[in-house]
Each structure stands twice: as structure tokens, then as C-alpha cells.
Structure 1
Amino acid sequence: MKFRALALAAAISAVGLTSATVSTSAVAQAKEQFFPVLVYRTGAYAANGNPWANGYVDYLKLVNARGGINGVKLSFEECEFGYATDRGVECYERLKGKGATVFQPLSTGVTFALTDKAPVDKIPLVTAGYGRSESQDGSVFAWNFPLLGTYWVGADVAVQHIAKQAGGLDKLKGKKIALVYHDSPFGKEPIPALQERAKLHGFELQLLPVAHPGVEQKATWLQIRQSKPDNVLLWGWGVMNSTALKEAQATGFSRDKMLGIWWAGAEPDVKDVGAGAKGYQALTLQHSAEPNSKVVKDMLEMVHAKGQGTGPKDEVGSVLYMRGLISSMVAVEGVRKAQERYGKGKVMTGEQTRWGLENLTLDQKTLDGMGFAGVMRPVQTSCLDHMGSSWVRIQTWDGTKWTPGADWYQADEKLLRGMVLNASRKYAEEKKITPRTPEQCKL
């Protein structure tokens, strides 16, 4: 594990250094908010894992450049786990005792494995755009925060978008939608929501799992060629996405009939396919590539221009870089909110940060002031809603870049809320958890 102490950045810069390795004991003596960072910079998913990690860490550096969280500087430590669930759990165990603020595993498999551990260790799990969909219910999942959206949200909006293209939800009757999905907890998450929509609207759902890491899909696309679905939903990650687009091109399946989840809609997914992926669409977790946003301009000026950037300058503002940056931002704002209750200018514990995350109120004025104008819509969490937002846009690959659409979609809260409550109550029964009451939520 490589350790970097962000709080020392100014001093390091003054003597002409761009990074430093310091002992854990030295940092323990400092008044710093510690952020463990689980990463996969190596292995089959590194092309997607790297920009996310760079955006996450860069935002911590930007917060320090802006003075910290009410004066409290941030530090972090990376732990490489190669997208392997067992290694991700090992990273958690190695870092949890160092004053961990939150964990963001960027893996649904690791999230499932840590969901039972987080309440014992009293450390929040922030899973922005992934993880367990039913963990939106904070009365049961007190330590899970699937902020900004879950895979059930993504599945619901995907069906809404396909219906809009077809002329309305009633036009889905008799159609066939194929789900090409990563054969893992991540890929299986949207299935219940899609099955529910299929029952409601009368379309056929074809399930086509793809084995890790997703480089062999010829049999899958032969099935698609034979069954002729009207649309294909791509629920992939890493090399699986570009492979799917290449196979679609080879078999003649129209890319404008393909719609990817937000983890299948980044630059690494399409750059090697180029014009061959033109017309392909993907959901966005609110943001797309945002090179012209104020927060990106601040990042370039206050971090990268001073030689403190984590990764290459030209990736700043890309889709996955922004995803990591926003994931970091919501964690930071959880700490800031916690300080309002437990003391401004103080280091927050994981338990105190959990309260902050559960009481987030990021209105548009606040987001705009932080540099996220045009990037995000408001986020407001509560005991019963650990997600805080269900807004989604659609972006289209034009052959050279991602172009976000003007329309915003919102998941059907009435439909999904019932699913969330049913699943969370079932989980509570299995784990013998008593859901928190409104009175307990105030504590």
C-alpha cells in the first residue's frame, strides 16, 4: 500500500517535491481526516479503475488546497485489490483501524461482503451508483449509502428511455429486450427491477450472462443474432464493454439500439471502437464528461498546475474521473455536515460521519458554489432514503466523444420504493435486524 499525506502537500511543494511517503505513526499524530481508498490500478479492470481512483484522490487534494474541511486537512492511503472480492475485504481489514472515515469499494461484490462488517466497525459504506439496491432503506441498512442512484434506478430509467424512443410505455408490449450482463453481483442487480417492468408492460426479458472478465462473447452475440431482440441493455464493466460493442458491430446489431448502464458509458469503453460505436447510448449518474465545469477548472489550476495531480492531466474531466471526484465530494460533504453537529474544525469519527451522510442537504446553490453547476442536481438524504437522488441523463457516443442529452429522467419512486422495502425487510428478518424507528433516526 502506498501512503500519501495530503496535509503535507504545501510543505512538500515548498521544497520542490510532488509527493511523499511518510510513516503511519507520523500521520496519526496530525489532526487529519483519514480516507482509505480501495483501488484497482492493476488487472483486467485497471483501465476503468484508474481514472475513478485519480478523480477520487484529486478531489481530496483540491479540498486541502481550499483549506480543508473547516480547517481539517485530509489524508489518505490506497490499497490495491485488483477487483477481487477477497482482496478487497483484506484491504478493508488493514485500513479500518487507522481512523477510517468511510469506505468506497467500487465493487458490488466487496460491498456485499462488507455490509455485515460496517455496522460492527461503525464505518459507513458509500457506494455511489452501485452496491445493494435495497440499501437505500437506511432504517435497515444504517451504514450503507448508495448515493445518487442504484442499479434498480438505472434499470427503471433504461426502460423509460427505451419506451420513449418507441413512442410510450404501451408500445413495449410484445417487444424483446436482452440484458447482456457481467455474471457477478453487479450484473445481476438490475434483474428484479427489469422483471417487474416486464410484467407491467408485457415485454420479454432475455437474460444473457457474460463470464468475467468479458473478453469471450461470441456465443452471446450469436444468441442475439438468432433471437433478434429489439434492444440490448449492456450491464458491463471494463473490457466487457468494448468487447460487446465490437461483437455488435461484427454481427450487425445496431449500436443505436444498445443502451449501457453508467459503468458502461465511459471513454475506455468506446475509444478502441471509435466510429464503430457511433450511436451507442449510456445512462449517466447525473454527470457525463465535464471538461468545462468549474470544479474541473479549479482542479487544473489548484492541483495539476502545481504538479500535485494523481494521474494524467488530459483525463481530468473525463467520465470516470468525474465519477471518482463526485464520490469523493459526497464523502467530504458528509464530514462537513457531521461537523455542524459534532464540532466544526474537528476530525469526525466514522459514526459521526454516518450521521452527516444521513442528513446531507446539497441544494443547487450549494452545488453550484462548489463548482458543480450543470454537473449535478440536488442531493438530500434521510433515514429512509440513503440514496438522496434518482436523476439520470442519457449520453450518446458520436464517434469521438460523449454528448449528454438535455432531458433528465427520474426513476419511478412508487414502483421502486415497494421493491426496496420488501427486499430490505426480508434482509432484516434474515439478519435479525430491527428497523430503526423515526425517533431512533433522530439520534
Structure 2
Amino acid sequence: MKLITQLMLTAATAAALLAPVGQALAQADTQFIALPSYRVGPYGANGQAFYGGYVDYLNYVNMKEGGINGVKLSWEECETEYNNAKGVECYERLKGKNLVTKGTAYNVMATGIAYALIDKSAEDKVPLMMVGYGRTDAVDGSVFPYAFPLVTTYQMQVSAIVKYLASKNGGTLAGKKIAYLYHDSAYGKEPIVALEAESKIGKFNLIQIPVAHPGNEQGAQWLRIRQENPDYVIFWGWGVMNQTALKAAQKVGYSRDKMIGSWWAGSEEDTVPAGEAAKGYMSATWNVAGDKVPVIADIEKVVYGAGKGNMQDKTKVGTILYNRGVSVAIATVEAIRTAQAKYGKGKVISGEQMRWGLENLNITNARLAQLGATGLLPEIKTSCDNHEGSGKIKIQQWDGSKWTVISDWIEGNKTLIHPLFKANAAKFAKEKGITPACMK
């Protein structure tokens, strides 16, 4: 009997050690949020900062407000390693953790995984949040009622980058040569249709140069860039691909102030390891860096002050990706709050109700100021016709030690881009036998 007791205690201790650090497990009376995340693998450093910020904000809401109208938030992470199959496995495992919320809203931060979950999440009636990534045509809520590419899509982002570059050249890029260096995946391919359309109306020469995953081999690509000598390189990288590109650009003598990356190629994880090779490099962004943003400073005080911070490396607090994780968590929490206002304050909301909350978001500048989150994301106002809600970016530049914002909000060419994704959504609806309709 004594031996059995010892074995049971040993097993219990082992189970406790294996439980994810900082995890708040699902309970029936909590708003359970599923987190298919990645903190290991070639993109693990990016995921660590992003999901660290996301989890810290959920903890912050629990500690500062006691939850949302008294409903505590709970969550559980599942490691995807940025792998599509593992992402689907995590989704299937997490959706059954709470039969009411079904995970509330999934944010996988991987375009490939998002594509794999588009149909599944709709069938299960739980939202898929693709904040700053994912499938662009999901902006059309009449075809994709449960998919939300919030803030800005890849196509609107690249259109805004083109607009910014044109503004630096007297308002036109006619006759210019632009190389598009991109991660050869769904993430990198998503903006191509928009870039091709921009090149036709803008009369610039577009050169497309793919880079195989994970992107640490780019010798041939940069040899071609040196030969072509484009006026600009629009760069769609991720993870180790980013610092590799900056070092390669320096090696072939291509000026980094002619390179402008996507917002997933514009963090400290990209520039710091590249050293001097990163100086002058630009990227798109929707959030600022720094721990002087009121909500970030308060998270440090409330969450880390109580020893409950999610980041083991506290120096990442206030970085671009950490703050971006906080911004996505803010959008998630505000959608829950919006849904509660309709379906009952102080109640756990379902996946279907969360869908309504996301489709009726109205995060104003005044609300961002109340949250202490000015600069962490633009205003967002969604509808059935527009699951994006913003379409705006800013441009930032690395000065050798920090990111500095160098533009105001820039909106992509909506009259050009929106018909592109509308047409694609209509094609998808026809293929799937979907009758486009707005849900109530």
C-alpha cells in the first residue's frame, strides 16, 4: 500500500512538471481560449514573443478586471511548430476542452494552418482569427462567416507599401523595377495577385523571387538581385529568413534602405541578429514597439510585478512581436466584450456568439485610449462585408538599435484590391456550393 501511494505521488508530481507553464486550464465557468501556438522550431523565437504578449494580456485582464464582466479567461497552448498537420491536430484537441466556447477563437499565426482550418472552423461554428495574416478573400463575411483576417490583409498591406514607395518618387513608380523576394509558401504567395495588379496600373517592372523554407539559403536569389539591381526590394520573409536576407543584402552591396518588408519581417528578432546589416531597413507594421505604451507598462507592473509573467526573457516585453501579441489579445477580448453586450454580460459566450462579436467590432481611437493601447493597433470596425475592419499600416525603420515609425497610417488601394478578393471569394463560393449570405 505504501509503495502504491509513493507511485501515485510520483506520477502526480511528473504530471505537474509536464503541465505547460503559465497555463490556465479550461473550466466550465470560464471563457476558454484555445491557443495553437509555436515556441520551438525555425520560427520559435517569433512565436515566443508573440504568444508571450498574448498570454500576458489574458492574465492581465484576469488580474486587473477580474475577467470580462466577472467571467475569468482560461486558456491552453498546443505546440504546432508552424506545421500544418500539427496545427490541425492541435485544433481538434483543443476544441473539445470546453463544449460551450469550443476554444472561443483560434489564432494560429500561420497562413498555411489557417488555410487548413477555414472549412473546419466554419463547420464547428467557432471563429478563426487571422490577424495580419491568412486568407485575404475571407474579408467577405457572406462567404467566410467564421474567418476574420482582422486589421489588414496581405494584399492591402502590399498595396500600402507600393503607395508609400510611390510617395517617395513623386507619386509614381512608372519605369521602376521592383523585386518581390518572398517565402515560398501560402504566406509569401498571398500578396502576389495584388502586386501584379499594382504593377500593371503603376507601370513598374515586377520581378518575383521565391525562397524555399526556412530561408537560410538565399545565395542564388541575392545573386539575381545584384544582377537585376532593382530600385526596391519588397520583402516577405519570416523567421531566420529575415536576418539571412539582411546579411545577404549587405554582402552583395544592396542598400538596406531600399528594402521594405512585411510586418512579419520587421521585428527585433530580425534586425538585432543581423547587426549592422539591418541599419536603414524598413518594414510595414500596425503596432509600435516600446514598454512606454501605457498598457504594456501596466502589464509589467501588474503581471510581472506579481511574478506571473509568461516571458522567461523579460527583455522581450515591449518588442514589436510582444506588443503585437498584446494587440491581438486586445482584439480578442474586445470581441468577447462585444458579444457579451448582446448575449448577456457575465456569461460565457459560445463560438457562434463570438462570431457575432467579431463581426460587430468597433474599436475606436477613444476606446484604444481607454485601454492604454494607442498605437498598438488602428481603429477596427467590422461588418459582414468587411471582416478586415481597417486596411491600414505604418512604415517603420531600423536605426541600428530600435524601430522608429516614419509614416502616418497608410491605407492600401481599396478600389483595386477589394474587387480582387471579392472575385476570389465568389469563385470559392461557387466551388463549394455556398450561397453567399450575411448571418444575423
What TM-score, normalized to structure 2? Answer: 0.92
Tell me how far apart the structure 1 counterparts of residues 22 and 356 of structure 2 sit (CA, whole Å): 33
Contact 2:323-2:376 within 8 A present in 1 as well:
no
Tell me the equivalent position of 2:280: 279
Tell me how far apart the structure 2 counterparts of residues 21 and 166 of structure 1 sit (CA, whole Å): 50
The alpha-carbon deviation at position 410 of structure 1 amounts to: 1.0
Tell me the equivalent position of 1:181: 182
Q: Which amino acid aligns with 2:80?
A: F
Larger displacement relative to structure 2 (260-269 or 404-413): 404-413
SS in 2 for 1:306: coil
Please state if 1:72 is matched with 2:75. Answer: no
Q: 1:150 is matched with which residue: 143, 150, 153?
A: 153
The alpha-carbon deviation at position 396 of structure 1 amounts to: 0.3
Mapping of residues 24-35 of structure 1, within 5 Å:
27-29=26-28, 31-35=29-33
Give the CA RMSD over aligned residues: 1.4
Point out where structure 2 has 5 or more consecutive residues left out of the alignment: 1-19
SS in 1 for 2:208: strand
Tell me the equivalent position of 1:291: 291
Evaluate the alpha carbon distance shift between residue 247 and residue 51 of structure 1 in structure 2; reply closer, same or farther with a 3 A threshold: same
Q: Which amino acid aligns with 1:77?
A: E
Point out where structure 1 has 5 or more consecutive residues left out of the alignment: 1-17
1:241-266 C-alpha deviation (Å, 9 max, x unpaired): 00000000000000000000000000
Contact 1:213-1:239 within 8 A present in 2 as well:
yes
Tell me the equivalent position of 1:428: 429
Tell me the equivalent position of 1:302: 302
Q: Which amino acid aligns with 2:241?
A: M
Tell me how far apart the structure 2 counterparts of residues 290 and 355 of structure 1 sit (CA, whole Å): 33
The alpha-carbon deviation at position 20 of structure 1 amounts to: 6.7
Q: Which amino acid aligns with 1:319?
A: I
The alpha-carbon deviation at position 208 of structure 1 amounts to: 0.5
Evaluate the alpha carbon distance shift between residue 365 and residue 208 of structure 1 in structure 2; reply closer, same or farther with a 3 A threshold: same
Tell me how far apart the structure 1 counterparts of residues 380 and 339 of structure 2 sit (CA, whole Å): 16
Contact 2:105-2:129 within 8 A present in 1 as well:
yes
Tell me the equivalent position of 2:116: 113
Tell me the equivalent position of 1:125: 128
Please state if 1:62 is matched with 2:63. Answer: no
SS in 1 for 2:141: coil
1:359-401 C-alpha deviation (Å, 9 max, x unpaired): 0011111110001123333110001000111121000000111
Q: Which amino acid aligns with 1:303?
A: V
Tell me how far apart the structure 2 counterparts of residues 165 and 47 of structure 1 sit (CA, whole Å): 33
Contact 2:23-2:75 within 8 A present in 1 as well:
no
Contact 1:34-1:101 within 8 A present in 2 as well:
yes
Evaluate the alpha carbon distance shift between residue 406 and residue 203 of structure 1 in structure 2; reply closer, same or farther with a 3 A threshold: closer
Tell me how far apart the structure 2 counterparts of residues 406 and 196 of structure 1 sit (CA, whole Å): 24
SS in 2 for 1:209: strand
The alpha-carbon deviation at position 97 of structure 1 amounts to: 1.3
The alpha-carbon deviation at position 19 of structure 1 amounts to: 6.0
1:125-166 C-alpha deviation (Å, 9 max, x unpaired): 001100001111111110010110110011101111111111
Q: Which amino acid aligns with 1:126?
A: M
Mapping of residues 74-223 of structure 1, within 5 Å:
74-99=73-98, 100-169=103-172, 172-223=173-224
Tell me the equivalent position of 2:9: none
Tell me how far apart the structure 2 counterparts of residues 373 and 167 of structure 1 sit (CA, whole Å): 31
Contact 1:177-1:203 within 8 A present in 2 as well:
yes
The alpha-carbon deviation at position 406 of structure 1 amounts to: 4.0
Larger displacement relative to structure 2 (258-267 or 359-368): 359-368
Q: Which amino acid aligns with 2:418?
A: R
Q: Which amino acid aligns with 1:348?
A: I
Tell me how far apart the structure 2 counterparts of residues 435 and 188 of structure 1 sit (CA, whole Å): 26
Larger displacement relative to structure 2 (323-332 or 263-272): 323-332
What TM-score, normalized to structure 1? Answer: 0.92
1:138-196 C-alpha deviation (Å, 9 max, x unpaired): 11110010110110011101111111111212xx1221110110000000011000000
Q: Which amino acid aligns with 2:264?
A: W
Tell me the equivalent position of 1:15: none
Residue correspondences, number: 415
Counting aligned pairs with the same residue, the percent is 48
